[in-house]
Structure 1
Amino acid sequence: MSNTVLPTGPVVRTPRVSLRVHTRTVTGVVVLLVVAVVLAAMALTLGDYRLSLGQVVGALTGSGSRAQQYVVVGLRLPRVAVALVVGAALGVAGAVFQSLARNNLASPDLLGFTTGAATGALVSIVLVGGGPTGTTIGAIVGTLVTALAVQALLGGAVGGYRLVLVGIGVNAVLAALNNFLILRTDLSTAVAAQSWLVGTLNGRSWPEVLAVAVALVLLVPIAVAGSRRLDLLGMGDDVARGLGVTVERTRVVTLLVGVALVGVATAAVGPIAFVALAAPQLARRVTGTTGPGMVAAGLMGAVLLLAGDVLGQRLAAPTQFPAGTMTAAIGGLYLVWLLAREWRAGR
């Protein structure tokens, strides 16, 4: 009879917690995808010219009537697509800025980056008379200049409530400048600029979808690749450097990614409030993660903007509210709840 030698040493147990978190993350992403599809189907069927889901599918496949194809493919589908891509861009940008600042209130609309994009676009519209391309370039340049100004006022510090306070101040100055630009132009240009400033998806078509989609394809992989380093930055610069993270390079690259996403999204539809603020936080609650979660934040942003647009179209039909107005109203309530929660927690 042979002797059996049992292995010695500590018993390695399966990390059930990690598996559970991973499963919840995947489940949350799938749920967000399903919600986005359901909202897109609602947006394609609802309206003054109501269609059934079968008629929408027929219009998309080319078997529907000419009127149905025009309404679905020519009018509603570009609007749904631009809501999804712009919302995704804002959600990812919000996750980038909140991770960089290590502050849940550090969203581009509160920090002045969205208003800076609007300033750059207004300069192009009012002073230069630029078209869609000039507006896009102006929005991106305006966001970059705003980011540089905020960084200069911070004196190199990037975190805590100081960033929020500086950003709020810059945002107020830029909002006043935007109003001045509108007041100094002729009436027709001022009306066009003001209607753009409310953030609307009306009249948006495939060129806007393509521009934002290209930005997502190019920039989101960079943000996802850097999300792990951003997570390590949350532990402090010294710890991140000790783990091999190039802190300054990571900040610059991710900041440029966030700036470009905000600029392109704002140029496409105008300033959209609070999507970038709420999307990353809600995504973390759905997926159960503590890190940046770029993909989930992008999906949540797409869901929020599309939901706001659908609600704005049907809440007081036939009167329509701009998507930016609806997201601002919903986001304002969310911000009040968030601040009250932080205050109760003693933060």
Structure 2
Amino acid sequence: MSTTHRPPGHGVLRVRGGSFLLHRRSTAVSGILALVLAATCVAYLCSGESFVPPGEVVKVLLGRPSPDELVVGTLRLPRMTAGLLVGLAFGVAGALIQTVARNPLASPDIIGISQGATAVTVAGLTFGFTSYTLLPYLSVAGGILAAALVYVFAWRGGLHATRFVLIGIGFAVVLRSVTLLLLTKADAAVASQAQTWMTGSLNGRGWEEVNPLAWALLLMLPAVVWAARAQRSVSLDDDTATALGVRLGRVRLGLVATGVVLASVATGAAGPVDFVALLAPQIARRLTRTAQIPLVSSALLGAVIVVLADLLARKLLSPTELPVGVMTAAVGAPYLIWLIVRGRTTGGNA
């Protein structure tokens, strides 16, 4: 007879091919965040130049006839869905990259991944690739290229967290300079389009942008499920993980690759919506009080942040609509400063 040993506060979910440890508080937090996200989505669909009653919103979502079908189903729902999916992707991407780097500053928009996606996308716009259907592919290519460069330069017989972050910040500065240089070479119309995209915006997003994003995230789902299990081994110290037979180099590379693709796909869909990948994992970890960053809670928090930020961006200066990236930066920049100051006063990582 065998017994299963698990940490206090955890349960075990058994599925075919293995089992998952479930932290009870994390599960409860995820449930609450799911409800908050649902409420935020309903508020988003209700709000706009004209208010739509929640009952009519529910009718549209259920496919029933409604006089507000055009406003809710055609204008607001695709944009909200894009924001939700972008937030999910950024939340998981930030959690995976911060887990590998063991540093809360290691988010895609800090260590050069978003800047790589931006530089390649702006280059595409500058040289005449103006189709929105092509931009996500350019962003993925740029994000992967930037991440590969950071990973190669940071690797010295292992992946040291501080070196990884510092080299990533250096690449971010260089790539941002490349982007600005490209903008000076572009004509006025292309430069204006690129600058709007660079702020991170969901304006004008329809189902033609949402469908490729949804399919890309669906294809990434098996990798995310694998990452949820592999994340536990990377959270251990190197000696313990090696003694348990974990191939840390491969696991870390797989986690980083998954995070990079998710962040690049999200960037391609909405532009570099800054600080979502930085905020969501850290807030999720503080809410759940877990040793490792919870992926589900991070994903849900990322979705809540983006949808709520876009709702505020639409309403605060109505009828003028702000880019969603402006709202996330207004919250994320002070949080980044707090992380840096806290890290200095505690003498270690924030």
Normalized against structure 2, the TM-score is what? 0.89
Shift of 1:128: 4.5
Share of identical aligned residues, percent? 37
Aligned to 2:17: none
Aligned to 1:69: 69
Q: Across the two proteins, how many residue pairs are aligned to each other?
A: 334
Shift of 1:164: 1.8
Q: CA RMSD in A?
A: 2.1
Offset from partner CA, 1:159-206 (integer Å, 9 cap, x none):
332222211111111111111111101111111111111110100111
Offset from partner CA, 1:202-233 (integer Å, 9 cap, x none):
00111322222222222233223223333322
Aligned to 1:321: 322
Aligned to 2:88: 88
Shift of 1:268: 0.5
In structure 2, C-alpha distance between the alignment counterparts of 1:187 and 1:128, rounded to whole Å = 13
Contact 1:227 1:292 survives alignment (8 Å): no
Given residue 261 of structure 1, which amino acid in structure 2 is its aligned partner? L
In structure 1, C-alpha distance between the alignment counterparts of 2:9 and 2:254, rounded to whole Å = 32
Aligned to 2:16: none
Aligned to 2:14: none
SS state at 1:239 partner: helix
In structure 1, C-alpha distance between the alignment counterparts of 2:130 and 2:6, rounded to whole Å = 60
Aligned to 1:239: 240
Aligned to 1:123: 123
Contact 2:276 2:302 survives alignment (8 Å): yes
Aligned to 1:110: 110
Confirm or deny that 1:200 pairs with 2:222: no
Aligned to 1:26: 27
Offset from partner CA, 1:278-326 (integer Å, 9 cap, x none):
1111111222212132121111110111111111112222222210110
Shift of 1:122: 1.4
In structure 2, C-alpha distance between the alignment counterparts of 1:253 and 1:242, rounded to whole Å = 20
SS state at 2:127 partner: helix
Shift of 1:250: 1.3
**CA 117–242 in structure 1, closer or farther in 2 if over 3 Å, else same:** same
Contact 1:231 1:292 survives alignment (8 Å): no
In structure 1, C-alpha distance between the alignment counterparts of 2:133 and 2:159, rounded to whole Å = 32
Aligned to 1:7: none
Contact 1:117 1:262 survives alignment (8 Å): no
Shift of 1:13: 11
In structure 2, C-alpha distance between the alignment counterparts of 1:93 and 1:139, rounded to whole Å = 15
Moved more, 200-209 or 235-244: 235-244
Shift of 1:246: 1.9
Aligned to 1:283: 284
Shift of 1:130: 5.0
Contact 2:9 2:24 survives alignment (8 Å): no
Contact 2:133 2:209 survives alignment (8 Å): no
Aligned to 1:9: none
Given residue 26 of structure 1, which amino acid in structure 2 is its aligned partner? T
Aligned to 1:135: 135
Given residue 136 of structure 2, which amino acid in structure 1 is its aligned partner? T
Given residue 143 of structure 1, which amino acid in structure 2 is its aligned partner? G
Aligned to 1:4: none
Given residue 63 of structure 1, which amino acid in structure 2 is its aligned partner? P
**Residue pairs, 1:198-237, within 5 angstroms:** 198-237=199-238
Shift of 1:251: 2.1
SS state at 1:48 partner: coil
Shift of 1:264: 0.9
Aligned to 1:5: none
In structure 2, C-alpha distance between the alignment counterparts of 1:133 and 1:80, rounded to whole Å = 19
* Higher relative helix content: 1
Shift of 1:14: 10
Aligned to 2:19: none
SS state at 1:110 partner: coil
Q: Name the larger-Rg structure.
A: 1
Given residue 126 of structure 2, which amino acid in structure 1 is its aligned partner? V
In structure 2, C-alpha distance between the alignment counterparts of 1:315 and 1:286, rounded to whole Å = 28
Unaligned runs of 5+ in 2: 12-21
In structure 1, C-alpha distance between the alignment counterparts of 2:145 and 2:128, rounded to whole Å = 18
In structure 2, C-alpha distance between the alignment counterparts of 1:190 and 1:241, rounded to whole Å = 50
Shift of 1:236: 3.0
**Residue pairs, 1:140-159, within 5 angstroms:** 140-156=140-156, 157-159=158-160
Contact 2:282 2:293 survives alignment (8 Å): no
Given residue 258 of structure 1, which amino acid in structure 2 is its aligned partner? G
Contact 2:26 2:294 survives alignment (8 Å): no
Given residue 62 of structure 1, which amino acid in structure 2 is its aligned partner? R
In structure 2, C-alpha distance between the alignment counterparts of 1:47 and 1:202, rounded to whole Å = 13
Aligned to 1:8: none
In structure 2, C-alpha distance between the alignment counterparts of 1:212 and 1:238, rounded to whole Å = 39
Confirm or deny that 1:267 pairs with 2:268: yes
Contact 1:109 1:115 survives alignment (8 Å): yes
Contact 2:234 2:252 survives alignment (8 Å): no
In structure 2, C-alpha distance between the alignment counterparts of 1:290 and 1:188, rounded to whole Å = 49
In structure 2, C-alpha distance between the alignment counterparts of 1:317 and 1:131, rounded to whole Å = 28
In structure 1, C-alpha distance between the alignment counterparts of 2:159 and 2:329, rounded to whole Å = 26
Confirm or deny that 1:78 pairs with 2:78: yes
Aligned to 1:335: 336
